[in-house]
């Protein structure tokens, strides 16, 4: 018996020969005409068809015959002749696609063969091989001849990386929908659906979610003769019209809040910066690249969160008015729809997505601001002393150059050899204890999963074969990080993983470091050879997850989970289990919507609703800047620092950054006014400590969009108020994200009374123009809040 899976493989492998100018087939199904047993019928929209066998000999079938004869003389017959070259040619008589010997039940009107109801879900399978899932009466997805839910095919994907940016070019060779062969009940509310080619889907309906498990042994995961051509899969989810459905999530998204009408690459990468990436092929980069993509999104109007469990490159296309198309270059093993019932709210819905146990932050981080200081022991001591004397609540100092500095044309950077620099910070372990004793201030450092090739740790890792290599030459892969090179620790190699954990423990934790930025995780090319022999395409998105796991285990093994914290910008599905705190990455030091202050807020809100990433923050004042002489400058202003700081006080973590041009940017100690402003900001944040700690125990993101809390979706989802957010459940914050503005329009979405934090004036539902001088970001609290007495005291600060 000819394997249908094998035959379909061959059909797809030679699809160009078969299709000609016919276009994509509507479906491919086994032929039931006795003369053509073990062959396939391919039907096209034109109602032309071909029948083919394992040798890919085609038998033309047309729709211009309205009937077929039972006479033996009218049966199709195969004839072969030789052309001048001796090559066999094949001709046949005509066969009608309406031949009664063909199984054409797909043309009949649908009749339900199976119907299952669970909560507000209805799964329906019909006799023509179609199926659909209804959620609260509306189709979530459906599969039929004319509206397929699933497609398979193949493409060539080329990945090019420079400075962490990836230009990804795809050439799709074919894309074909499949019909259902059979359905089998697999227990109550669970069904196996056998598609053509051996692809099997298992649908499981639960009270709160629907799972679609995908058979990982199916042909769509295999790699055929040309290893650059991988068979792929597409899914289509029903969409509402553009004016009736919004889409949020997909990780940290900077340019857009609502992703409807956009295509989002699910690939860990540097964020797109139009003004700064002109040397990295920025014209070819999608505007939606991100350090932390998540293969998940939320539809507020439909009431579901979608999550795909897999690691390959994917594209989530929300541009069609009728469906969302999700393209995976390798098959995910599960798709899951988390469903919100009609009588529940989004707040409780989000709690279901939280990791368990809930991540925690050390108590000390809520005691004040984390000040970013570099330049050596004397500079650290002088700046810290001045800020404490100015009345600043300093919870910690973050010293990036603890391990040395490197000056490049980009600016001031860190020497990536993870041992403290005795030149810059002589006797650092003793100094850390001294600063803790004098100022009750913790010490934070910096590390990433790469090591500089001109440092001693590189020599040790190289000798132990702990580094990622090039797949073609087996040489150690050295990445250009901008005027210096770094090698990649092979985090899939258990011995290398343990060695790097010990580097973290011995060189950071054991000398008294209480936290660090665990930077990067994006710079893994696809042409790599790693210990586990997993392809670069499949391991790339998982690299920041492995990096988070390394940090997490180093802290856990040291017994310091309640004392030490680390934070990351790169991420992917699964990182929530290991990393307790995220930051929005490298934003520009201005008010630019796409990559400046507003982008930082937008990214935090989108990450929060992507599922499970609870605590996030941003670099106060931003990071990226430049000075190109007479050409152009991008330098942090005092106003930007003030506006960013006043927003940052209403979050779970408050930390400054000097930026890549620290000598040009306005810093927290710029002048007496700035010192006083930052001191007041730190005290506001510290005063909110009881509320912050309680908020972090609720299992919801620290920052959430308004529509998570209120039923007024039309206004809450409006682009005009996209950057307003809820801090916890009782504080509504409306950041001022434009320069030279001292009044700000705020929308109160709830009919209950709200009190303005700085004046204690009462407001209720509607649009209001609020005074917003520097230092008094528009903030409101519920009049009925159990924290109202705490909030009232802030008006005196």
Q: Which of 126, 245, 586, 730 is catalytic?
A: 586
Residue 334 resides in a domain: yes
Query: Residues near 796 by Cβ (< 8 Å), separated by ≥ 6?
Result: none
Tokens encoding 375: 């330049």
Evaluate whether residue 484 is within a structural domain: no
Beta bridge partners of 263: 317
Write down the residue that tokens 């509206």 correspond to.
147
209 and 287 share a domain? yes
Asked if 56 and 157 sit in the same domain, the reply is no
Same domain, 91 and 143: no
751 occurs within a structural domain = no
Residues 198 and 338 in one domain: yes
Domain identity same for 83 and 214? no
Give the CATH number, domain containing residue 210.
Answer: 2.60.40.1760
Same domain assignment for residues 139 and 81: no
Alpha carbon 368 to chain centroid, angstroms? 30
Please state the φ and ψ torsions of residue 16, each to the nearest 5 degrees. -65, -35
User: What pLDDT sits at residue 114?
Assistant: 54
- 596 CB-near residues (< 8 Å, 6+ apart): 587, 588, 589, 590, 622
Q: What is the dihedral of CA 749, 258, 723, 394, to 10 degrees?
A: 130
Considering the domain architecture, whether residues 83 and 159 belong to the same structural domain is answered as no
d(CA 563, CA 362): 5
In this predicted structure, what is the pLDDT of residue 116? 62
Rounded distance between C-alpha atoms, residue 708 and residue 362, angstroms: 27
The most distant pair of C-alpha atoms in the chain lies apart, rounded to whole Å, by 104
How far apart CA 415 and CA 374 sit, in angstroms, is 13
> CA distances (Å), 613 to each of 354, 636, 750, in order?
7, 29, 26
Collapsed DSSP state (helix, strand, coil) of residue 727? strand
- Which of 522, 594, 619, 658 is catalytic? The answer is 522
Active-site position among 9, 519, 590, 730: 519
Q: What is the reported pLDDT for 195? A: 86
Q: Is 22 exposed, middle or buried (0-12, 13-18, 19+ CB in 10 A)?
A: middle
In the annotation, is 586 catalytic? yes
Do 184 and 50 share a structural domain? Answer: no
Q: Which residues pair with 9 in a beta bridge?
A: none
Instruction: Give pLDDT tens digits for 431-458.
Output: 999 999 999 999 999 999 999 999 999 9
Q: How many CB atoms lie within 10 A of CB 26?
A: 20
219 and 237: one domain? Answer: yes
Q: Write the pLDDT tens digit of every residue in 73-128.
A: 333 333 333 333 333 333 333 333 333 333 433 333 344 445 566 667 888 888 77
Residue 140, both tokens: 């979530």
Asked whether residue 223 is domain-assigned, the answer is yes
Residue 417 maps to a domain: no
Asked if 163 and 480 touch (Cβ cutoff 8 Å), the reply is yes
Last residue of a domain, one of 320, 344, 368: 344
The reply to whether the predicted model has a pTM over 0.75 is yes
Mean pLDDT by 10 residues, the chain (797 residues): 37 40 44 51 45 41 35 34 34 34 37 59 84 90 91 92 93 89 85 84 90 67 40 93 96 97 97 65 74 97 94 97 96 93 85 89 98 98 98 99 93 95 98 98 99 98 98 97 96 98 99 99 98 93 97 98 98 96 97 97 97 93 90 93 99 97 97 99 99 94 94 83 97 98 96 96 97 99 97 92
Task: Look at residue 14 and tell me if it is in a domain.
Answer: yes
Query: Mapping DSSP to helix (H, G, I), strand (E, B) and coil, where does residue 305 land?
Result: strand
Separation between Cα atoms, residue 749 and residue 761, nearest integer Å: 17
Tell me, yes or no, whether 101 and 125 share the same domain: no
**What is the count of structural domains for the chain?**
2
Which residues are CB-neighbours of 567 under 8 A, at least 6 positions away?
Answer: 515, 517, 518, 579, 580, 581, 582, 583, 617, 653
Which of residues 283, 313, 344 is at a domain's end?
344
**Alpha-carbon gap, residue 196 to 151, rounded angstroms:** 11
Range of the domain at 219: 108-344
Q: What is the pLDDT of residue 273?
A: 79
- Residues 6 or more apart whose Cβ sits within 8 Å of residue 724: 705, 706, 732, 733, 734, 735, 746, 747
Helices 543-557 and 494-507 cross at an angle (nearest 10°) of: 50
Instruction: Point out the domain boundary residue: 86, 105, 124.
Output: 105
- Shared domain for 141 and 266, answered yes or no, is yes
Q: Are residues 182 and 246 in the same domain?
A: yes
| Tokens (6 digits) for 651 | 């979050």
Contact in structure between 207 and 201 (CB atoms under 8 Å): no
Q: For residue 434, give every residue at least 6 positions away whose Cβ sits within 8 Å of its Cβ, in sequence order, or none.
A: none
Q: State the CB neighbour count (10 A cutoff) for residue 112.
A: 10
Instruction: Yes or no: say if 436 and 442 are a contact pair by the CB < 8 Å rule.
Output: yes
Closest CA to 520 of 56, 70, 164: 164
Tokens of 7: 């035959």
Is 519 marked active-site? Answer: yes
Dist. CA 318–CA 372, nearest whole Å: 40
Residue 131 and residue 125 in contact, taking contact as beta carbons nearer than 8 Å: yes
In a domain, residue 54? The reply is: yes
Q: Kindly state whether residue 333 falls inside one of the protein's structural domains.
A: yes
Q: How far apart are CA 125 and CA 703, in angstroms?
A: 42
């Amino acid at each position: 018996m000819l394997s249908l899976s094998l035959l379909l493989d061959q059909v797809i492998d030679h699809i160009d020969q078969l299709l000609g100018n016919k276009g994509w087939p509507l479906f491919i199904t086994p032929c039931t005409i006795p003369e053509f047993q073990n062959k396939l019928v391919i039907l096209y929209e034109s109602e032309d068809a071909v029948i083919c066998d394992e040798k890919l000999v085609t038998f033309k079938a047309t729709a211009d015959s309205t009937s077929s004869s039972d006479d033996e003389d009218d049966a199709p017959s195969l004839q072969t002749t030789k052309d001048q070259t001796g090559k066999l040619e094949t001709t046949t008589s005509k066969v009608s696609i309406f031949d009664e010997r063909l199984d054409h039940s797909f043309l009949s009107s649908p009749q339900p063969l199976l119907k299952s109801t669970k909560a507000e879900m209805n799964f329906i399978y019909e006799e023509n091989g179609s199926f659909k899932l209804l959620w609260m009466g509306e189709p979530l997805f459906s599969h039929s001849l004319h509206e397929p839910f699933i497609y398979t095919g193949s493409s060539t994907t080329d990945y090019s990386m420079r400075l962490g940016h990836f230009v990804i070019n795809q050439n799709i060779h074919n894309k074909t929908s499949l019909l259902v062969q059979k359905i089998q009940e697999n227990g109550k509310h669970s069904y196996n659906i056998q598609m053509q080619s051996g692809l099997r889907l298992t649908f499981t309906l639960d009270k709160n979610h629907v799972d679609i498990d995908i058979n990982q042994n199916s042909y769509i995961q295999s790699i055929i003769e040309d290893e650059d051509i991988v068979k792929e899969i597409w899914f289509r989810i029903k969409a509402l019209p553009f004016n009736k459905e919004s889409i949020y999530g997909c990780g940290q998204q900077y340019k857009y809040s609502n992703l409807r009408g956009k295509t989002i690459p699910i690939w860990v990468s540097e964020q797109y910066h139009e003004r700064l990436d002109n040397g990295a092929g920025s014209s070819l980069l999608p505007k939606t690249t991100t350090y932390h993509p998540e293969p998940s999104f939320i539809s507020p109007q439909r009431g579901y969160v979608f999550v795909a469990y897999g690691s390959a490159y994917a594209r989530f296309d929300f541009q069609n008015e009728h469906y969302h198309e999700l393209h995976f270059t390798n098959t995910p093993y599960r798709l899951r729809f988390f469903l919100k019932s009609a009588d529940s709210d989004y707040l409780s819905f989000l709690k279901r997505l939280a990791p368990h146990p809930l991540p925690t932050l050390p108590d000390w981080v809520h005691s004040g601001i984390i000040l970013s200081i570099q330049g050596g022991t004397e500079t650290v001591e002088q700046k810290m002393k001045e800020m404490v004397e100015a009345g600043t609540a300093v919870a910690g100092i973050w010293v990036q150059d603890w391990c040395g500095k490197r000056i490049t044309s980009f600016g001031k950077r860190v020497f990536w050899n993870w041992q403290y620099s005795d030149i810059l910070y002589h006797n650092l372990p003793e100094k850390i204890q001294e600063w803790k004793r004098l100022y009750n201030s913790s010490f934070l450092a910096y590390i990433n999963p790469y090591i500089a090739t001109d440092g001693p740790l590189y020599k040790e890792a190289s000798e132990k074969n702990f580094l990622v290599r090039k797949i073609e030459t087996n040489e150690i892969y050295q990445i250009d990080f901008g005027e210096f090179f770094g090698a990649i620790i092979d985090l899939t190699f258990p011995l290398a993983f343990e060695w790097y954990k010990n580097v973290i423990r011995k060189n950071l934790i054991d000398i008294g470091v209480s936290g660090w930025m665990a930077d990067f995780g994006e710079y893994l090319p696809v042409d790599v050879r790693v210990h586990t022999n997993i392809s670069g395409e499949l391991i790339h998105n998982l690299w920041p997850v492995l990096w988070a796991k390394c940090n997490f285990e180093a802290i856990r093994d040291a017994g310091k989970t309640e004392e030490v914290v680390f934070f990351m910008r790169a991420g992917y599905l699964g990182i929530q289990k290991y990393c307790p705190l995220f930051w929005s990455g490298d934003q520009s030091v201005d008010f630019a919507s796409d990559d400046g202050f507003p982008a930082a807020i937008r990214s935090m809100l989108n990450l929060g609703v992507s599922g499970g990433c609870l605590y996030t923050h941003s670099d106060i004042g931003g990071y990226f800047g430049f000075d190109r002489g007479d050409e152009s400058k991008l330098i942090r202003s005092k106003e930007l620092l003030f506006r960013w700081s006043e927003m940052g006080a209403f979050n779970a973590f408050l930390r400054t950054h000097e930026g890549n041009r620290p000598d040009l940017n306005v810093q927290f100690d710029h002048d007496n006014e700035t010192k006083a402003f930052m001191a007041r900001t730190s005290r506001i944040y510290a005063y909110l400590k009881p509320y912050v700690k309680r908020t972090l125990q609720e299992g919801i993101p620290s920052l959430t969009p308004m529509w998570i809390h209120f039923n007024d979706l039309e206004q809450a989802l409006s682009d005009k108020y996209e950057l307003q957010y809820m801090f916890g459940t009782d504080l509504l914050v409306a950041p001022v994200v434009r320069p030279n503005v001292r009044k700000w329009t705020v929308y109160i979405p709830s009919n209950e009374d709200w009190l303005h934090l700085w004046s204690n004036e009462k407001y209720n539902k509607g649009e209001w123009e609020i005074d917003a001088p520097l230092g008094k970001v528009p903030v409101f609290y519920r009049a009925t809040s159990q924290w109202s007495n705490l909030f009232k005291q802030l008006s005196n600060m």
